[in-house]
Amino acid sequence: MGIKKQVKLRTIFIKYLFAFCISTLFVIILAITATLTLPNLFGTIPNKGLLPANYAQNELMKAKDKIVASKKVTPNLIPDLCKYAVYTKNGKMISGNLSSRTAKKAWVLSQNTDDSSDLFYHYLKINRKDEVCIVQYSFYVQFASSTLRKFLPIPVVLLIILFCFGFILETIILTRSFSKKIIQKMSGLQTAVDKIQNQDLDFSMEPSGILEVDNILSSIDKMKEALKASMKKQWNLEEARKAQISALAHDIKTPLTIVKGNAELLTETEENDDQKEYTNYIIESSHDMERYIKALIEISKAETGYSIHKENIDTKKYLDELLSHIKALTSIKKLKLQFNAYNLPKSFSVDCNLLQRAILNVVSNAVDYSKENSSIAFSVEGTTKHINFVICDSGSGFSKEALNKAKQQFYMGDSSRGSKFHYGMGLYIANSIVKQHGGKMELSNSDITKGAEIRICIPIEK
């Protein structure tokens, strides 16, 4: 890893915590300023947008004598920010702008004292000649503007609302900033894990600048180098093993040919019944051994990769030749071949022998798994960039496990689709050839035939 100035994760956290405290203080100042400034824009009293908490009480004390002396209590006698109710001496409400429920509560509270209160309001009892007037007021700072009082909560509540809004906004911004920075610093860690997971070990670690993360990256780097050395050793051993198997398979062919040839010569001599039986055993076993050796050679070729020789071929001629081979395979079990072709390109670039081998491998499997006198569907479709070969059989279809594993080497798990002569190599070899052409092979079950469906997609390269 390269050298980069490092800081501890704790340091980054403290920086953001300090920024959080400073921004919270700023939000408080901003909320107070807004609360104080807003009413000055609408205030009815010059240079006085807010009224003091005892404003309503002072105004009520000034108006008290007028309320006592007047013939009738009218709304214009009641100071601003106050509400009232007029009662008979027996407590029956006569007039006022208090709700009936509040008026009842105010009467009960005022029975023992002239100045009573509940959780939010105060009540002043004013005795008149034949009636009683109770005025409700509060000790809160209020807006001088009646418009603001109508549409906004009291200043204290407004201040709390503004602070909460600013605090939430501040928290979101700082949290996103902190999260973004941490994710950015941790990106190298995620990249390293993804590359190792994809078996890409040829990369260098980029330091994050955070001590704790760089320590983890350093450990991963050491693990990567150890894994790289181990995989290289394993790869070399694997390549040597493949070469040995391939060489051994070819070497066995020579003595096997001699054994088989001599056994066949023995059949031309005079033999008794027991000798003929033993000779036939030798010949049959030789045939089996030839198949096993052929399978070993195919495994080696598929693992190391086939030698691809692409050429631009005529599509129609290629399909005519391919169809003749497919018809020969389907005739073994008297299968009906359904062939369709759509939007075919005039030509495409491919190793014709290898692709034919891949397709015939798939068709051979389809023939094995189809019942006699049933059918096989083979279709070819061209697109702007690809040519698709689709083979559908009339068998039992792929199991759920086979859909995921049938392309793997030696997979024989699906007993309903097993064959003693394929050794789990048919689709593996076909898939290997298709991949080397830059294409892909997809397995599914046909909605039409209900059997297995295999799609081979090959790029059209001019």
Beta bridge partners of 83: 136
**Residue 339 — φ and ψ, nearest 5°?**
-115, 135
DSSP annotation string for 343-398: S--SEEEE-HHHHHHHHHHHHHHHHHHSPTT-EEEEEEEE-SSEEEEEEE-SSS--
CA-CA distances (angstroms) from residue 20 to 7, 167, 170?
20, 10, 8
Per-residue model confidence (pLDDT) at position 137: 94
Among 128, 71, 68, 138, smallest CA distance to 102 is for: 138
Per-residue model confidence (pLDDT) at position 243: 67
Task: Give SS3 for 423.
Answer: coil
CA-CA distances (angstroms) from residue 288 to 158, 257, 260, 278, 291?
93, 12, 11, 15, 5
CA-CA distances (angstroms) from residue 142 to 28, 45, 79, 310, 367?
20, 12, 14, 89, 92
pLDDT tens digit sequence for 332-391: 888 999 999 989 999 999 988 889 988 988 898 888 888 888 899 999 999 888 999 999
- Say if residue 415's pLDDT is above 60: no
Angle, alpha carbons 425-427-431 (nearest 5°): 115
pLDDT tens digit sequence for 237-282: 777 776 666 667 667 777 777 777 888 888 888 888 888 788 887 8
The pLDDT of 84-109, averaged and rounded, is: 93
- Rounded distance between C-alpha atoms, residue 178 and residue 175, angstroms: 5
Per-residue model confidence (pLDDT) at position 237: 74
Stretch among 24-38, 41-55, 278-292, 433-447 having the lowest mean pLDDT: 41-55
Per-residue model confidence (pLDDT) at position 82: 93
Name residue, tokens 């993360």: 213
449 or 89, greater pLDDT: 89
Residue % of the chain over a pLDDT of 70: 86
The pLDDT of 194-220, averaged and rounded, is: 80
103 or 215, greater pLDDT: 103
Which burial class, exposed, middle or buried, applies to 459 when counting CB atoms under 10 A from its CB (0-12, 13-18, 19+)? Answer: middle
User: Which residue type, as a one-letter code, is found at position 171?
Assistant: T
Asked whether this chain's domains 54-139 and 311-459 adopt the same fold, the reply is no
The pLDDT of 413-419, averaged and rounded, is: 48
b/e map 166-196, b = 16+ CB within 10 Å: bbeebeeebeeebeeebeebeebbeebeeeb
Does the domain spanning 54-139 belong to CATH 3.30.70? no
Name residue, tokens 């007028």: 66
Please state the domain extents for the chain. Answer: 1-50+145-209, 54-139, 252-304, 311-459
Is the whole-model pTM more than 0.85?
no
Per-residue model confidence (pLDDT) at position 155: 85
Longest dimension (CA), the chain: 154
The pLDDT of 291-320, averaged and rounded, is: 76
- Say if residue 299's pLDDT is above 70: no
- Say if residue 307's pLDDT is above 50: yes
CA-CA distances (angstroms) from residue 71 to 66, 76, 136?
10, 13, 21
24 or 183, greater pLDDT: 24
Per-residue model confidence (pLDDT) at position 36: 76
Domain spanning 311-459 has what CATH number?
3.30.565.10
pLDDT tens digit sequence for 31-60: 888 877 776 665 444 446 788 889 999 999
